[in-house]
Copies of this chain bind each other. A is one copy, B any other.
Amino acid sequence: MAINLSFTPPDFSDRQFTEAPPAAMAPSPASGIAPENYHATSNFPEYVKLESGEWLLAPEGRMDAVLVFKNGNLEVTEARRLSKGDLVVIGRTENGEEGIYVHDACFVETKESEDKFTFRSRGTRETPFSHSYDSLYEILKHDREHGYIVWVLGPAVAFDKDSRKAMQGLIEHGYCHALMAGNALATHDIEAAHFSTGLGQNIYSQELQPLGHYNHLDILNAVRKAGSIKKAIEELEIKDGIMYACEEKNIPYILAGSIRDDGPLPEIVSDVYQAQNVMREHARKATTVITMATQLHSIAFGNMTPSYKVLQDGTIRPVYFYIVDMSEFSADKLANRGSSQAQAILTNVQDFIVNIWNHLSSETTGG
């Protein structure tokens, strides 16, 4: 099963490594500014050779960050967060030439076809997904106890009765350790709980309600008046849904603001870089990430999620990243922004989440 993929560390006794120079470092010239020729990180594990000859692994990698050497350790940080004088690793080669090694093939056994002519070399909506589902079931069952599962949700998850119920079930039964979303997901979910609508359309019958376009505005007004989602759930006597389940089970959620927002809800993080900072706290912990129907949040979270996780006992495991969307373009776009390890499942998220919960609920006891 996919989760057993074992990590193959570099063999640092190879000449490639023994003869490599230690990495150069230079101080940040000003707050938020990287020095010339700074090294930018990828999603992969990266090692830096110190003067002592030791190769140090950067923990909790992320794409497009810099490496800061501090107190004998490496920190992977966004350039905007540099302080003047921070020691930044220098060099842009990847195979030790400058003391930096990007360990890209640490998990994957490449088994590409060697035929000169093949069909179906590209993943599309016609790719068979039974195996992806089965793998994901195993991963979720494993990581429920032994990992950190992060869900990244677009608003469409809250627009359908069954999908909303499925997501609630997953949260209540331990399959979600953190939730990333925007203002719309939370608003529509609470609208659904209170009015049984999403943007005024009944989440079951598909009928547009008279004056239904007021519903989400009224919910926003009510939650803002209550002061928090938690208080609004009490005051409106809400008993179901995604946000209800998070509050009930104390699952942390981050709601990042966007320029499309109405409202917003009180919990929204309105500064986007502050939002990145708090989202990344969860990306550091993640062992499995599932993003659904949101290109904006998928790419944002994909950029900050490493492809590996160093466990407390020092072992290294892959971080699984699934993107669920209707269009090849969204999946390709994630790959084109560097998250090549992401696996795409091309379908409607309503069906996806109902499938996942149908399968897991039949195997799950208690919560």
**Interface residues, chain A, with chain B CB atoms under 8 Å away:** 29-30, 32-34, 38, 40, 42-44, 63-64, 78-80, 92, 94, 102, 104, 111-122, 124-133, 155-156, 159-163, 198-208, 210-214, 217, 220-221, 224-225, 256-264, 270-276, 279, 293, 295-297, 299-300, 303, 326-329, 332-333, 335-338, 340, 346-348, 350-352, 354-355, 358
Contacts and interface: CB of A to CB of B under 8 A. Distances in A.
A107 to B, nearest CB: 14
Nearest to A274: B270
B224 A32 contact: yes
B260 A296 contact: yes
Contact of A120 (B40, B133, B336): B336
Contacts of A205: 131
Nearest to A119: B199
Nearest to A134: B204
11 contacts: A29-B225, A30-B225, A79-B263, A118-B208, A126-B293, A258-B258, A270-B273, A327-B328, A328-B328, A351-B355, A355-B355
Nearest to A254: B259
Q: Lowest 4 A-B CB distances belong to which pairs?
A: A347-B348, A128-B160, A351-B351, A42-B117
Contacts of A206: 127-128, 131-132
Given A260-B296, A272-B257, A201 B348 contact: no
Contact of A116 (B42, B115, B129, B156): B42
Given A121-B335, A124-B332, A354-B355, A210 B115 contact: yes
Given A161-B130, A260-B303, A300-B258, A117 B44 contact: yes
Contact of A208 (B120, B126, B214, B348): B120
A213 B92 CA distance: 11
Contacts of A262: 64, 78, 303
A45 B336 CA distance: 32
Contacts of A155: 126
A336 B358 CA distance: 30
Contact of A203 (B121, B128, B332): B128
A206 B267 CA distance: 42
A34 B220 CA distance: 10
A160 to B, nearest CB: 4
Contacts of A354: 355
Contacts of A156: 125-126
B272 A44 contact: no
Contacts of A275: 259
Contact of A121 (B130, B163, B273, B340): B340
Nearest to A273: B270
Contacts of A202: 128
B80 A263 contact: yes
Given A264-B273, A326-B326, 5 more contacts: A30-B225, A79-B224, A104-B116, A130-B163, A130-B203
A205 B134 CA distance: 10
A34 B221 contact: yes
A166 B133 CA distance: 15
B279 A259 contact: yes
A219 to B, nearest CB: 12
Nearest to A358: B358
Contacts of A221: 33-34, 38, 79
Given A130-B161, A350-B347, A119 B30 contact: no
